[in-house]
Amino acid sequence: MKELILYSYWRSSAAYRVRIALSLKKLAYKTIPVHLVKEGGQQHTLEFASINASELVPVLVDGEIAINQSLAIIDYLDEISPEVLLTPTDRHLRYQVKSLAQDIAIDIHPINNLRVMQYLTSTIGTDQMQNTDWIRHWITLGFTALEMKLKNTAGACCVGDDVTLVDACLIPQVYNALRFGVTMSPFPTITRLYSSLIKHPDFIAAAPENQLDAQS
Ligand SMILES: N[C@@H](CCC(=O)N[C@@H](CS)C(=O)NCC(=O)O)C(=O)O
């Protein structure tokens, strides 16, 4: 197998999900940092757009294959490295995991993305405080539903006691929530899961502050 390459940005929560999966699976990979802010955003360069025309990270390259979309990448990793599965084989658990992961990755995350914030500021004319309120609002709404669901599914992890795709999505989303000052007290289950999982060695290895491009 050729060396896996991950186009990543240290603060990208979608890239963080993939880093967690790679780390849990003990897969070696090379990081190519894509700075989302510097020089107007390196994701918009011709070089990167030729790898992902959507101009978003992450992208995983495995030999001839380049895959974008963090959930698709993690599915791919489950296929090539099935010893540790992030999506369980049991049908009931599998769809529970997929639904919860998509609650985060599809319903909560995209409306708070950098390009949405940039559009709000440049076209709608919002200021920094209004953008922060926007992010807090949508994360709080999403976490309110998620808290109720996780209360019923969580053990040591989001679904039972084994780490799944939901944990790989939740931890980066809470990282974002804390970064933007979301009040977490209404979410005791989410807070408990976050506090415990960020101490897991594979989650530590994947954490934004431990990436080679951190703070750059
Ligand atoms: N649905 C995509 C989302 C990818 C995405 O939104 N990436 C963000 C970073 S978390 C990005 O590259 N943003 C750049 C921009 O908004 O210009 C996935 O799960 O991979």
Mutation choice for ligand 1 from 7, 114, 117, CB with most ligand atoms inside 8 A: 114
* Domain locations along the chain: 4-85, 91-202
Q: Is the CB of 23 under 6 A from ligand 1?
A: no
Class of domain 4-85: alpha beta
In this structure, the number of other CB atoms found within 10 A of the CB of residue 200 comes to: 18
- For residues 203 and 124, give the distance between their C-alpha atoms in angstroms, rounded to a whole number: 37
Q: Is the CB of 12 under 6 A from ligand 1?
A: yes
Let me know if domain 91-202 sits in CATH 1.20.1050.10: yes
CA trace torsion 120, 112, 49, 57 (10° rounding): 160
Over residues 162-188, the pLDDT tens digits come to 999 999 999 999 999 999 999 999 999
Q: Is the CB of 57 under 6 A from ligand 1?
A: yes
Over residues 97-147, the pLDDT tens digits come to 999 999 999 999 999 999 999 999 999 999 999 999 999 999 999 999 999
Q: Is the CB of 52 under 6 A from ligand 1?
A: no
Over residues 25-45, the pLDDT tens digits come to 999 999 999 999 999 999 999
Q: Is the CB of 114 under 6 A from ligand 1?
A: yes
Ligand 1 centroid, distance to 114 Cα (angstroms): 8
Q: Is the CB of 21 under 6 A from ligand 1?
A: no
**Which segments within 27-70 are labelled E, that is strand?**
29-33, 59-62, 65-68
pLDDT band at 1 (very low <50, low <70, confident <90, very high): low
